[in-house]
Amino acid sequence: MSSPARVHLIAAARPNFMKVAPLWHALKATSDFQPIIVHTGQHYDAAMSDDIFADLRLPAPDHHLGIGSGTHAEQTGRVMIAYEKLAMEERPDWLIVVGDVNSTAACAMAAGKLRIPTIHLEAGLRSRDRDMPEELNRLVTDVLADVLWTPSPDADENLIAEGIPANKITRVGNIMMDSYELVRPSIEAADTAGALGFAKGGYGVVTLHRPSNVDVPEKLAELVDALIAVQAHLPLIFPVHPRTSQRLGDEGRAKLEAAGIKLIGPQAYIAFMSLVSGAAAVITDSGGIQEETTYLGIPCLTLRDNTERPITISEGTARLVKAPALLEQLLDALAQPKKDRKRPDAWDGKTAQRCVEDLRKRTFG
Ligand code: UD1
């Protein structure tokens, strides 16, 4: 029997790990493919990386590039240099990049010039907001990728409109739901909120980390006031991202705590999904959480001007909200009757299987 095709999977930052894990498990279960995890080190704290690897039953990465933090060009450049070296040594049969972080675009660029066939998982999402660094990463990655694995019909339409040939595109569905299903029993057994003294359904969860929200002091101050107004109606638990913690400073954190908002550190995957699945509502600027709340049928107040995931509004539980309207929108969302909502097509926990089938066709014909 010939040796398995070697597949580099790039894991870089927290939201990547839930996309890499199901694929790693599915590839590992075949004899056709050998998945090789390359961690660029864009996120490096245990809470932002190792703990999530452990929750998702991922082994330690096969390669660690140790890139760390920096400006966009520094981080992207360091990943390109380090990944090019590894890719030249290993010459994988495929590179798979996921999501939209700096490492995603950097590895796609390095591999593209080495003519290593590259797949983008979660291709085609567009916010049409070039103030978002992730939008530039999405555009660069999709134009370079040889195969584009999309989560939803809007993504296919975006790619076709940009001139990507249809035969490069396969709609595989939303891989994040595979991670949820992979560890669902552990999520259901965990009671993160209970351990903090909150009753199921009696609290809201907040996450904030987008530069457009937290790097502009006036915007952040406005958000702090909006959260304090919400706290008077719904007790809030707020796992604080390192970027946001730096921007809030001691003063900002003290103000939120004085209002009664429960600040905790970044959570690993199982503890965090336990928090979300027991919440009355979620207030967030994350991409992935808009999708997870849609999957779970939990109202999501998306604190952004736009979203690259419009299906979370058209078919899901999310709405775009600005800080001054947060309380009013939250109360309105909570007052809506819970509909029996159909999940978006192919958000079913079987995306990794569809990826492996497509990869098999494209590798062996
Ligand atoms: C990155 C991604 C963003 C993703 C987010 C999830 C890009 C452009 N941005 O943003 O798309 O939604 O990850 O978290 O790729 N830090 C730590 N420990 C860590 C990592 C970071 O303390 O493990 C601190 C550093 O001081 C760093 C700051 O957090 O400067 C921001 O981290 P960075 O990776 O630059 O961007 P994120 O905001 O996390």
pLDDT of residue 1: 54
- Amino acid letter, 118: T
Three-state SS at 32: coil
Q: List Cβ neighbours of 114 (8 Å cut-off, separation of 6 or more).
A: 84, 87, 88, 91
pLDDT of residue 101: 98
241 is catalytic: no
Residue nearest atom 36 in ligand 1 by C-alpha distance = 243
User: How many angstroms is it from 219 CA to the middle of ligand 1?
Assistant: 19
Residue nearest atom 30 in ligand 1 by C-alpha distance = 69
pLDDT of residue 2: 79
Q: With contact defined as beta carbons under 8 Å apart, do 138 and 160 qualify?
A: no
CA geometry: angle 178, 181, 185, nearest 5 deg: 155
Residue nearest atom 39 in ligand 1 by C-alpha distance = 243
pTM: 0.97
User: How many angstroms is it from 230 CA to the middle of ligand 1?
Assistant: 27
pLDDT of residue 123: 99
What domains lie within the chain, and their CATH numbers? Answer: 5-173+347-364 (3.40.50.2000), 186-335 (3.40.50.2000)
Q: Which of 8, 43, 120, 209 is catalytic?
A: 209
The whole-angstrom separation of Cα 25 and Cα 111 is 23
The structure tokens listed for 74 are: 């520094």
Q: List Cβ neighbours of 77 (8 Å cut-off, separation of 6 or more).
A: 106
Cβ burial of 342 (10 Å; 0-12, 13-18, 19+) is exposed
Task: From the CA of 48, give the closest atom in ligand 1.
Answer: 23
Name the DSSP class of 60.
P
Positive or negative, the CA dihedral 195, 197, 201, 204 is negative
Task: From the CA of 100, give the closest atom in ligand 1.
Answer: 11
pLDDT of residue 250: 98
Query: Which residues are near ligand 1 (CB < 6 Å)?
Result: 13-15, 42-45, 48, 69, 100-102, 133-134, 209, 241-243
pLDDT of residue 274: 98
Residue numbers of the chain with a pLDDT score lower than 50: none
DSSP H or E segment with residue 11 = strand 5-11
Distances (CA, A) of 145 to 48, 82, 157, 223, 226: 27, 19, 16, 37, 41
Task: From the CA of 103, give the closest atom in ligand 1.
Answer: 15
Burial 172-198 (b: 16+ CB within 10 A, else e): bbbbbbbbbbbbeeebeebebbeeeeb
Give the other-Cβ count within 10 Å of 285's Cβ. Answer: 23
Residue nearest atom 7 in ligand 1 by C-alpha distance = 101
pLDDT of residue 112: 98
pLDDT of residue 12: 98
